[in-house]
Structure 1
Amino acid sequence: MAQIGRLLFESNMNSQREDVLSAIVPLLKLLSLTMIGLVLSRFEMIPRATFKLLSKLVFALFLPCLIFTHLGESITLENFIQWWFIPVNVVVSTLFGCLLGYVVVLICRPPPEFNRFTIIMTGFGNTGNLPLAIVSSVCHSSDNPFGPDCHRKGVAYVSFAQWVAVIFVYTLVYHMMEPPMEYYEIVQEGAEIQEEGTEDVSAPLLVEAEWPGIEDKETEHSKTPFIARVFNSISSLSSLPDMDSRDGAISRGNTPMSVTCFAGPNKVARKIKVVAEQTPIQHILQPPTIASLLAIVIGIVPHLKELVYGDDVPLAFVTDSLQIVAGATIPAVMLILGGMLAEGPNESTLGLRTTIGIIVARLLVLPLVGIGVVVLANKLNIVVAGDQMYMFVLFLQYTTPSAILLGAIASLRGYGVREASALLFWQHVLALASLSLYIVVYFKLMSFI
């Protein structure tokens, strides 16, 4: 009897050891690739310009090829409908993340100009390159728990969620990252608004990786509190911020500042139109998003799919070529991440307490919320029954660090550039530990669901 108990105990220990290894080894593979990039950059074996060029190749070629070949092959009209909760889960995870960010603001009390920044950096996670890398690394092992279609399905699920995050970033996040008006000096002549005490900062590689060529997207309003200025013109004088109590007061000269009073819904509509025109909605149609949309359209139309996807289809040579190119995506992404981390964190005025608060909320607390949401969704039969990769991708949407694309938006808006760079650096360094912990938890949890 004692021998049977000992055998059961040893069997259980071996099983637990295998579960832990199957969760951690994929991350160690990604860490190895990242370290190669870090060494190449740190010792200047590859110049910074080469990493920038590589990021452009990922953005414009490798990633679109990966998305097109895997998403289009996996999707049909039937599972297009079944997968509806994947993009919805991105919205849910963002809402809970923003709520946690607000709690961080209440508890940690960052400098007032970084209240919105704190909420944004806690709420919006990386739903693109990093989940793709994790899924690809997990599926690279022959004994992965997701079966032979692991990689194709995993990439398809992650890609299916990307368009929601992109829309969020280029609309909501773009305007939420607007520089706070009360920390700017408003000059009446020429209607110029400029930040006080701001030095020119060359954007680090960390904030350019997922939006190459960001410097070309800047407009005359990018680095100004545009919405605040537009909508203050329809408010009464009493609702304007009290600028006189600050160093950056309103320069009135000898002429009183003119204020346009509220003039009805037509004026509000005109203001909304002005803001909409300054929203960079055109940037949503970037190569990865176009690849996603094209793959979805071809995938759900059977006659088109029969031409493009499959072994004996007329255009099989094209998809095979794209698949060869797509194979470079994950190594390139991790090499770029290593190059970014080699630059180290920038100086930040966010404060240590707030930085720790954001990291804890994003990497440790939000995944617990995600477990509750996904388990509840499973009980309500919202998720695809019996598809563990589907659930794993849902879990990952709550587990990744803040989106690197937020650093690009910060650079574009001139708001919290150093803070975003420093925070993204520390989050991605510490994410190795948090991801290892939660992937073990997810693997265990999925065996019981």
Structure 2
Amino acid sequence: MALLDLFTASSVPVVKVLLVTALGSYLAVDRVNILGDDARKHLNNITFFVFNPALVYSNLASTLTFESMVELWFMPFNILFTFIIGSALGWVVIQFTRPPSHLHGLIIGCCAAGNLGNLLLIIIPAVCKERGSPFGDGDTCVKYGMAYASLSMATGAIYLWSYVYNIVRVSSSRSSREVEIIDSPTHTSSREGSPSSSGKSLTDPLLSSSVLIETEDHEKGLGQLQDRFESKPQVCLTDKIKQRLGSVFSKMNLKKILAPSTTGAFVGFVVGLVPQIRGLLIGDAAPFHVIQDTALLVGDGAIPAVTLVMGGNLLRGLKGSGIQKSVIFGVLAVRYVALPLVGIAVVKGALRLGLVHDNPLYEFVLLLQFALPPAMNIGTITQLFGAGEMECSVIMLWCYSLASVALTLWSTLFLWLVSS
């Protein structure tokens, strides 16, 4: 296939995303104000609770079977690799840039979590319908491509709300504790009572006799405490691990992990994998096929709604913030240079080892999962904890502005790799 055809097939979907995003940004400007703050909030809620679950359910239920699920077993692990490798690279960015502590979770989240749902739901059907597509019949390509995208969206939602959510939560809570310690009366009084601020002469005795007596009593108390500690049996390693895991799971917000999209995915799995239920809902001859048709109708509103809201939210990044330019460059380098290169090695290695079946469309989706911009829901997470909202908007603005170039180039390379 000619390189120009590949470039056209990969650039048209990105241009479509940019046009709808630009429309959302225009509708959100002050003089138009159709997609103002309140309108975006309500539209985002409708998309989150209605459109996305219907879209994920309808596509998974209609395309997934037990046989296809066995073939797709590698995809959740591939997405897990993107999170693990992205987190490691995000930690490297933090070590080099030294940002404020409250931004650590944001940086790791932006490097780890890609837009595994909405962009794939737009890009894959557009690529399938292009004349230069290497994936054969357009309708068949769209049918299976939407199943891959829906599974990617569901898996990404689980990882996002169970991992990135808690990373940002821990980072924001640590930052708030540091602020509380700095602003606490004890810390303030200790600073005010220091020799430099108390007005004491340098010739005054450093320690009075009462302080020395209190110090000796304190040392005796510490010795008794140490004796009691040494006399107690040591807690075994397995008990410590159980306590640590119990503490982690107790702090997880299960309501966020079981987001509506994740719930829709679970229902889609049940309908698709259980033949008896599938026979009742899927197909023109199914007695309750109207339920499936309604879910498809409602789910079709997810893609334009999410893209419009994304365009409106990106306006916040134009206002700027005090974020370091090195942080922005670091996130861009991870998402658009390092991760795609690692993704080629991971997918081609899995293909060589026989872990991935020879399916060009499936390989393309696996590769594309490494080259996507950060997930838009990271902005929602930062809003929940009030940590790095403006900085997140700036990062998103730059990432999605450069996505037109990066996604087009990487998609062209990926199409060439899977078609050659």
The residue correspondences of 1:6-85 to structure 2 (distance < 5 A) are: 15-42=2-29, 43-46=31-34, 47-85=36-74
- Identify the match of residue 135 of structure 1 among 119, 124, 131: 124
User: 2: CA distance between counterparts of 1:251 and 1:117?
Assistant: 35
Is the CA contact (8 Å cut-off) linking 2:75 and 2:152 kept in structure 1? Answer: yes
Higher helix proportion (structure 1 or 2): 2
Moved more, 370-379 or 160-169: 160-169
Moved more, 302-311 or 44-53: 44-53
Q: Structure 1's 399 and 271: CA in aligned 2 closer, same or farther, altered over 3 A?
A: closer
Structure-1 residue corresponding to 2:207: none
Is the CA contact (8 Å cut-off) linking 2:314 and 2:393 kept in structure 1? Answer: no
Structure-1 residue corresponding to 2:114: 125
Q: Structure 1's 408 and 181: CA in aligned 2 closer, same or farther, altered over 3 A?
A: closer
CA-CA distance at 1:48 after TM superposition:
3.0
Q: Deviations over 1:74-99 (max 9, x none)?
A: 11111212111011101111111112
Q: Structure 1's 383 and 249: CA in aligned 2 closer, same or farther, altered over 3 A?
A: farther
Letter in 2 for 1:289: T
Look up the SS of the partner of 1:125 in the other structure: coil
- Identify the match of residue 98 of structure 2 among 109, 113, 119: 109
Letter in 2 for 1:156: A
- Identify the match of residue 425 of structure 1 among 390, 397, 408: 397
Letter in 1 for 2:11: I
Q: Deviations over 1:1-47 (max 9, x none)?
A: xxxxxxxxxxx8xx222221111112112211112112111242413
Moved more, 93-102 or 171-180: 171-180
- Identify the match of residue 179 of structure 1 among 151, 171, 175: 171
Letter in 1 for 2:323: L
Q: Does 1:332 align with 2:305?
A: yes
Letter in 2 for 1:44: V
Letter in 2 for 1:406: I
User: 2: CA distance between counterparts of 1:424 and 1:337?
Assistant: 10
Alignment length, in residue pairs? Answer: 379
- Identify the match of residue 320 of structure 1 among 266, 283, 293: 293
CA-CA distance at 1:390 after TM superposition:
0.9
CA-CA distance at 1:144 after TM superposition:
3.4
Q: Structure 1's 103 and 303: CA in aligned 2 closer, same or farther, altered over 3 A?
A: same
Structure-2 residue corresponding to 1:92: 81
Is the CA contact (8 Å cut-off) linking 2:114 and 2:369 kept in structure 1? Answer: yes
TM (normalized to structure 2)? 0.80
> What do you get for the CA RMSD once the two structures are aligned?
3.3
Is the CA contact (8 Å cut-off) linking 1:344 and 1:425 kept in structure 2? Answer: yes
Q: Does 1:438 align with 2:410?
A: yes
Structure-2 residue corresponding to 1:276: 249
Q: Deviations over 1:352-393 (max 9, x none)?
A: 1121111111122211111111111111121122x2221111
- Identify the match of residue 360 of structure 1 among 333, 354, 360: 333
Task: Work out the percentage of aligned pairs sharing the same amino acid.
Answer: 29
User: 1: CA distance between counterparts of 2:177 and 2:291?
Assistant: 56
User: 2: CA distance between counterparts of 1:57 and 1:391?
Assistant: 33
Is the CA contact (8 Å cut-off) linking 2:116 and 2:152 kept in structure 1? Answer: yes
Is the CA contact (8 Å cut-off) linking 2:6 and 2:416 kept in structure 1? Answer: yes
Is the CA contact (8 Å cut-off) linking 1:183 and 1:195 kept in structure 2? Answer: no
CA-CA distance at 1:106 after TM superposition:
3.3
Look up the SS of the partner of 2:171 in the other structure: coil
Is the CA contact (8 Å cut-off) linking 1:185 and 1:248 kept in structure 2? Answer: no
Letter in 2 for 1:108: T
Moved more, 287-296 or 124-133: 124-133
Structure-2 residue corresponding to 1:8: none
Structure-2 residue corresponding to 1:390: 362
User: 1: CA distance between counterparts of 2:241 and 2:77?
Assistant: 31
Look up the SS of the partner of 1:314 in the other structure: coil
Q: Which structure 2 residue ranges, 5 or more long, are not aligned?
A: 194-213
User: If you compute each CA radius of gyration, which structure gives the higher value, 1 or 2?
Assistant: 2
- Identify the match of residue 380 of structure 2 among 398, 408, 411: 408
